[in-house]
C-alpha cells in the first residue's frame, strides 16, 4: 500500500508559522506511520530554502506549490494522500487554498483524507474534490463564453512573469477575445467592481499567492487561474478529465513538459463548433488571423461608410440603459447667464435663519 503524508504549515488554531519550525513534528508522525505503509513521504510547501541550506539530492518534484521527495521510478499518481492542517474554527473548509489546490490536482482514483489538528477529526475528501472539479468546469465554461478578459498582475518578482503575461495575452487574442492588463495589488471586490465590462478575471501569481475560493456573492465576476484560461482558449489543450491541474504559470510556458502550443490559424481545431453549457448558445473559437495591413486590423465598417474603432468598453456602454448626462448640444434655447445662489449647501445667503 502506498501512502503520502501532507503537512500544513499552520499551527493549531490557525496561527501562521514557518514550516521549518514544525517539520520535526511532521517527521515524528511519519515515523509512527511508516511501519504501516510500504512507501510514505512527507511533502513540504515550496518556500524559499533557508540561507546556507543545500539543495536536496535528488531534486524533489514540485507540484501544487509543494515539494515531493519522490524516489527514482516513482510518480505522484501512484500515491494516496493524508492532509494534516486547517483549523476547526473555519466555517467553510472549501475555501482553504492549500487544500483546494491539492484536491484539484490529485489523481481522482487515489484516496485522499484530511485531519484537523484542532479537533482530531478525519474526513474523506472525495466528495469535496468532486465539488471543486465541478466548479472548475463551470469556470472554464465562463471563460469560453467571455468576450473581455482581465489579466490581474499579482506578482512582479517571480521569475518569468513577463513571459507568462505575454503568453496569456497571445492566448486571448488567438481565441478572439479582448484582454486588459490590470495591476491593482491584492484583488478585492470593490476594486474589480470598477471594471463592469470585464467578463472574467485571471490572476497571475505564484502558487502560494493564489486566492482561495471566494464565497458566492463576493466578487461580481469569477477569478480564474492561468491553467483554466488555457483550457478555455487553447483548442489543443486536453479535455478537463485528462489534463493536469497546474498551479504554477511557468508550467504553461515553452520548455515545460506540460506546455501545449497553440495550433496555427488554419488548423481545423479553431473551426470546431461548441455549445455553451451555461447559455445554451452555439459558439466557435474564432482564431485571430493577422491582416496584411496592421493599421486596419481594429477598424470595422459601418453602414454609414465611416470607419470606427471597435472597443469592448464602448460596446458595453452602448448596451446600458443609462449612459450618463446628455448634453443635447444645439437642442436647447440660449439664455443669458444669471446670478446663482451664494453660500454653502447647509445655509445659503437668501435663506432665513430658521
Cell of 307: 470607419
Q: What is the pLDDT of residue 128?
A: 87
Q: What is the pLDDT of residue 114?
A: 83
Instruction: Answer for the pair 105, 63: CB distance below 8 angstroms, yes or no.
Output: yes
Q: What is the pLDDT of residue 35?
A: 82
pTM assigned to the model: 0.71
Q: Which candidate, 129, 125, 99, 130, places its Cα nearest to that of 112? A: 125
Q: What is the pLDDT of residue 166?
A: 93
Q: What is the pLDDT of residue 295?
A: 43
Q: What is the pLDDT of residue 158?
A: 78
Find cell 456602454 and name the residue: 317
**Cα(195)–Cα(76) distance, rounded to whole angstroms?**
41
Q: What is the pLDDT of residue 87?
A: 55
- 343 bridge partner residues: 348
The angle at the Cα of 329, spanning 323 to 331, to the nearest 5 degrees, equals 110
The mean pLDDT values, 10 residues at a time, for the chain of 354 residues are 52 40 65 80 73 65 82 84 68 65 84 79 85 89 92 83 92 91 88 91 80 64 90 87 80 88 85 83 64 46 51 74 80 87 83 66
**Would you call the peptide bond into 58 cis, given omega within 30 degrees of 0 as the criterion?**
yes
Amino acid at each position: 500500500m502506498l501512502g503520502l503524508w501532507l503537512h500544513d504549515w499552520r499551527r493549531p488554531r490557525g496561527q501562521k508559522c514557518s514550516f521549518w519550525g514544525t517539520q520535526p513534528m511532521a517527521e515524528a508522525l511519519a515515523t509512527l506511520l511508516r511501519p504501516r505503509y510500504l512507501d510514505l513521504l512527507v511533502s513540504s510547501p515550496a518556500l524559499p530554502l533557508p540561507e546556507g541550506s543545500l539543495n536536496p539530492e535528488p531534486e524533489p518534484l514540485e507540484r501544487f506549490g509543494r515539494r515531493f521527495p519522490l524516489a527514482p521510478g516513482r510518480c505522484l499518481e501512484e500515491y494516496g494522500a493524508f492532509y494534516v492542517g486547517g483549523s476547526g474554527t473555519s466555517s467553510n473548509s472549501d475555501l482553504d487554498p492549500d487544500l483546494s489546490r491539492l484536491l484539484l490536482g490529485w489523481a481522482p482514483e487515489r484516496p485522499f483524507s484530511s485531519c484537523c489538528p484542532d479537533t482530531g477529526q478525519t474526513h474523506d475528501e472525495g466528495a469535496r474534490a468532486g465539488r471543486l472539479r465541478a466548479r472548475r468546469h463551470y469556470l472554464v465554461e465562463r471563460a469560453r463564453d467571455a468576450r473581455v478578459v482581465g489579466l490581474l498582475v499579482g506578482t512582479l518578482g517571480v521569475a518569468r512573469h513577463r513571459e507568462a503575461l505575454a503568453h496569456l495575452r497571445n492566448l486571448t487574442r488567438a481565441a478572439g477575445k479582448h484582454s486588459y492588463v490590470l495591476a491593482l495589488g491584492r484583488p478585492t471586490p470593490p476594486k474589480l467592481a470598477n471594471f463592469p465590462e470585464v467578463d472574467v478575471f485571471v490572476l497571475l501569481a505564484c502558487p502560494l499567492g493564489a486566492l482561495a475560493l471566494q464565497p458566492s456573492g463576493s466578487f461580481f465576476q469569477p477569478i480564474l487561474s492561468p491553467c483554466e484560461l488555457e483550457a478555455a482558449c487553447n483548442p489543443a489543450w486536453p479535455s478537463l478529465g485528462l489534463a493536469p491541474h497546474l498551479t504554477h504559470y511557468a508550467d504553461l510556458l515553452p520548455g515545460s513538459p506540460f506546455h501545449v502550443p497553440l495550433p496555427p490559424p488554419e488548423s481545423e481545431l479553431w473551426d470546431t463548433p461548441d455549445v455553451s453549457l451555461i447559455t445554451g448558445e452555439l459558439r466557435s473559437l474564432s482564431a485571430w488571423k493577422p491582416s496584411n495591413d496592421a493599421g486596419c486590423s481594429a477598424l470595422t465598417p459601418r453602414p454609414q461608410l465611416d470607419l470606427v474603432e471597435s472597443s469592448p468598453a464602448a460596446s458595453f456602454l452602448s448596451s446600458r440603459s443609462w449612459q450618463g448626462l446628455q448634453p443635447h448640444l444645439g437642442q436647447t434655447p440660449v439664455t443669458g447667464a444669471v446670478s446663482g445662489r451664494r453660500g454653502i449647501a447647509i445655509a445659503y445667503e437668501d435663506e432665513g435663519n430658521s
